[in-house]
Structure 1
Amino acid sequence: MLIHRATLLDGRTVDIRVGAQIDEVGDGLVAGRGEGVLYAGGGTVLPGLHDHHVHVRAAASALDSFLVGPPGVTTKEQLTQLLSNATPGPDGWIRAVGYHESVAGELDRTALDALVRNAPVRIQHRSGALWILNSEALGRVGLPEHPDGRLRSADRGWSDALQQRESDLAELSRRITASGVTGVTDATPDLAADEMVSLVVAHRRGEFRPRPSFLSPGKKILQDDRLDLDSLTAWIDGQHADGRPVAVHCVTAAQLVVTIAALRAAGSHPLDRIEHAAVVPDDNLCDLADLGVTVVTQPNFVAERGDHYLADVPAAEHGELWRVASLLDAAIPVALSTDMPFGHGDPWTAMRAAVYRTTPSGAVLNADECVPALTALTMFLGRADRPGRPRTVEAGQPGDLCVLTEPPATALAELDAGMVAATIIGGELVYFAM
């Protein structure tokens, strides 16, 4: 494919010849026989976005799930009405996502039975760590005697039973590529080898177009009530001994402190990652810089849940939440992601959140962590294996590109997925805005 009149982020207007990789970038390139031509018309062309932390199968399943948490559902009455009137899906299940206790407290099987008794119901907590099932659903997964129906996602014995149904990878792929994303890193914990192979096969046969990469088996989720420095250190040491970097899920200050201590004890790998870093005390900035780890974080949660943080987190700790600017200032490599489906899957929304840090009510959560638009965009351009190292549009780079309708100044001012005109993966047009 030849792209005519593309404007790069540095302001240059060029033509781009692209196949499996970018072959030429220059002026006045002429299309060869049989070569497709895309007229960018001065619009911005940039490397395809990479979403560095997602959960692909969960996101596909969430496409036909009801949202039962803020901002769409905020009261017990709204939850009751939605579930009471819900129509089960083709498999007979009522599936819901995004629940938070602010809606109707801590749900259990008894509470769900009062709303829906004759169809299996499963509700996923917005953290992704917990599912609540009614009695009918518990029977379907072989746990009819479970005391409360509150099940941990990490317990694969029952959760696998929920994942056996077909998920709509093709529709998820269409939505992802429409936002200019050409690659994703699946951060699902304990992802089995056959599940990774399945997604790679789906990519090769064109069902799932973004290039997939994976964190498993080097991904570890920590729970505050199970923090054990010695076992974490031993796990990190074992991963490194096998030549694998680690990616450690840290959403609390305690988890981050223990992870830093474990990395110091075990030694760090140049590709080690901290996932989320939702809370970073000032004292830990230098620790992270010294270790050389990359932080993959999600400021989109400020835009999605910021009002809850303002209400529930002590004001003295607001400055520690979802930091970006201070991490960069400390020379820590940072990349952004959406955590889809637990966060909204639009990377441009995440970019705007990094720039403005505006909560749903319009408040600003820690303006000191705002970054310029170009910085926010660049943090979605990293390589899959080195998220903090952005790719560029030049010969020899992968043939994965995002074409926008607007020139760089407008694109950076708006940071909106509606500007995506085309998405190219391996020189093939996989999305084109009609």
Structure 2
Amino acid sequence: MNAPNTIVTGAQLWAPEPSKDTALAIRDGRIVAVGSDAEILALAGPDTARIDAAGAAVLPGFHDAHIHAQAGGLGLLGCDLDAAHSVAGYSELISDFAATSDAEWIVGAGWFGDAFPGGLPTRELLDELIPDRPAVFTSHDAHGVWVNTRALELAGVDRDTADPPAGRIVRDANGDATGMLFDTAGELVTRLIPPHREADLRAALLAAQDRLFSLGITAWHDAILGAYLTLPDCLPSYLDTLADGSLRARVTGSMWWPPSAGPEYLPEMRDRLRAASDAGFPVRSVKIMQDGICENCTAALLEPYRGVHPESRGDSVISPEDLKTITAALDAEGISVHFHGVGDRAVRECLDAVAYARERNGAGSRHQIAHLDVVDPADFARFARLGVTANLQALWARNDQEILERKFPLLGEDRARFHFPFGSLHRSGAHLAMGSDWPVTSPDPLWGLHTACTRTAPTADVHALNAESREPAQPEERLDVATAIRAYTLGAAEASRVADTVGSLEPGKYADLVFLTGPVDGPHSFDRLRVARTVLGGETVFLR
């Protein structure tokens, strides 16, 4: 065998399972051997580069199973509110950005509702900060849009404007819009925002790539290829950067299914999938948003919300029967469905749709449901039985102030017990994948792994302001370290249907590696470790 280009020795290997091996060899961008230090050193030639991990953990490159990379990049380059968690902090960031921008519209994202009195911002503050231009700021969870009076006027939103399906205009006691628009109501304003320049979108995607490399992420699945609220369609940027080689990460994605569309949209979806493949980006997944979020009462629940209208159960974005028809049709063509399911009713409707597809088509594509804030225990075992991946956003599973003060009172104690039931799903045999949903929350996999294994907030997280976030939330739902690492590596690769080339450290697979600053010696390791080096196809793309 020819000498390897690079060898790694002295490593605590997670392959992704804990390994007795300590070294590996790389040639032409792929792993060619894994073994002991002595075995791998014996393969080295005079020109072989050597990396001594010095006992630190070396894992497969992290694979984010649910992310919005271009949107995250736009936040890095634009008015990003993620660095603050207070009204004063948001005000300073917005004022500073507006003062240096000559844009017709001031657009940003990243605010948290619990920073505002009453749990939601209003147009009055934006009117004070930006009185002469329309302003639009999407919440960190991408389900709320905060706008000023000028933006409402341009959109023609007043007390006579009806709530759109699967959306809500928040109103004051007089019936006037407060400046808060939930879910599809946000599109009343966001559709008026002038489109981004192609060069800016390209720059955002490449800025996101650099940021993700620095966090050890070598592959990701973009959960929306299409336009949504203030998020422009990222597919053109992917096609552009794939064509010229500037996008180096391993990327898959899900084509966006418009919330208002029924089965009649299937021919157009087939055309969109075919066009993406013909252009050089094969897309084998479709994203369907089946409900909203609990905090806005737009997540679809089996039983009513507490403390609001007694019959309020949230909306199913697509009727359950149409969802079955759409899922079965896509499944029959080998297309996976990437469902957004937050409430227990939405989760059940997604599972029912997959069950219908299985009845009609037999064994088919691996589908997945992302988020899973609340799952009825009767549905835990159905994930394994139907071959549905539980796509987890682990960083959310903690006692943040917004969850304790705004979310749990709406859910009630019984449902709160099964808040992000990672452990229950794992024990029931569900296949797990992990992602961040960045820019909804931090894309840092080490933060996500910390919370998955401890159910507490990372020490450095600026958004974890309350003492309760340091206490375990539903501790019985913690994952063990090996299970969590697998979900953020091989599990995500399996969900994205690329596990034949990435996701584990074994001969024949791409040499995509992440080196940490020390060994993983328990669930609290992730709160102190950082990424030391990221390797993509045998080449270092980030070095601390």
Q: TM-score range by the shorter chain?
A: 0.7 to 0.9
2:74 to 47, 58, 61: 61
Change (3 A) 1:34 1:333: same
Match of 1:230 in 2: 321
Q: Matches of 2:72 and 2:192 in 1, distance apart?
A: 15
1:319 to 2:319 alignment: no
Runs of 5+ consecutive residues of structure 2 not aligned to the other structure? 159-176, 257-285, 292-313, 458-463
* Partner SS for 1:216: strand
1:306 Cα deviation after fit? 2.9
- Aligned pairs (5 A) from 1:9-408: 9=14, 10-26=19-35, 27=39, 28-32=41-45, 35-66=48-79, 68=81, 72-75=84-87, 79-80=90-91, 83-84=94-95, 86-88=97-99, 90=101, 92=103, 94-102=106-114, 103-104=116-117, 106-107=120-121, 112-134=126-148, 143-147=154-158, 150=181, 152=184, 158=191, 161-164=194-197, 166-167=200-201, 168-188=204-224, 190=226, 195-196=234-235, 198-203=237-242, 205=244, 207-216=246-255, 218-223=286-291, 224-225=314-315, 226-267=317-358, 269-303=364-398, 306-312=400-406, 313=408, 314-359=412-457, 360=464, 361=467, 362-382=470-490, 385-387=493-495, 391-408=503-520
Alignment partners' CA distance in 1, 2:429 and 2:146: 41
Encode CA deviations 1:186-205: one digit per residue, 9 max, x unaligned: 00264699843531542564
2:205 counterpart letter in structure 1: L
CA-CA distance at 1:241 after TM superposition: 2.4
Alpha-carbon distance in 1 for matches of 2:368, 2:348:
14
Counterpart amino acid of residue 25 in structure 2: I
**Is the partner of 2:473 in helix, strand or coil?**
coil
Distance (Å, rounded) in 2 between the aligned partners of 1:20 and 1:197: 28
Q: Is the 8 A contact 1:285 1:327 kept in 2?
A: yes
Q: Deviations over 1:124-146 (max 9, x none)?
A: 0222133233355578xxx4534
Separation in 1, partners of 2:106, 2:75: 11
Normalised by the length of structure 2, the TM-score is 0.70
Change (3 A) 1:31 1:415: same
SS at match of 1:97: strand
Which structure 1 residue ranges, 5 or more long, are not aligned? Answer: none
Give the conservation status (yes or no) of the 8 Å contact 1:250–1:276: yes
Cα gap change, 1:363 to 1:271, in 2 (>3 Å): same
Percent same amino acid at aligned positions? 23
Q: For the residues of structure 2 that align with 1:216 and 1:129, how far apart are their CA atoms?
A: 19
In 2, Cα distance between equivalents of 1:191 and 1:84: 27
TM-score by length of 1: 0.86
Q: d(CA) in 1 for partners of 2:332 and 2:108?
A: 41
- CA deviation vs aligned residue, 1:108-159 (integer Å, no higher than 9, x gap): 65653243113442210222133233355578xxx45344564736679817
Q: Distance in 1 between matches of 2:44 and 2:30?
A: 16
Letter of the 2:347 partner, please give it.
Answer: L
Query: Could you tell me whether the CA contact under 8 Å between 2:433 and 2:491 is conserved in 1?
Result: no
Question: What is the deviation of 1:422?
Answer: 1.4
One-letter code aligned to 1:38: I
Residues 159, 60 of structure 1: CA spacing in aligned structure 2 closer, same or farther, 3 A cutoff? farther
- What is the deviation of 1:395? 0.8
Is the contact made by 2:437 and 2:443 (CA closer than 8 Å) also made in structure 1?
yes
Any conservation in 2 of the 1:348–1:416 contact (CA below 8 Å)?
A: yes
* Aligned twin of 2:521: 409
Q: Deviations over 1:44-98 (max 9, x none)?
A: 22211101100011111111455558x94345x6655554454455553544323
RMSD between aligned alpha carbons? 3.2
Q: Distance in 1 between matches of 2:28 and 2:527?
A: 27
For 1:429 and 1:83, the matched residues in 2 are separated by 37
> Structure 1 19/191 Cα, relative in aligned 2: closer, same or farther at 3 Å?
farther
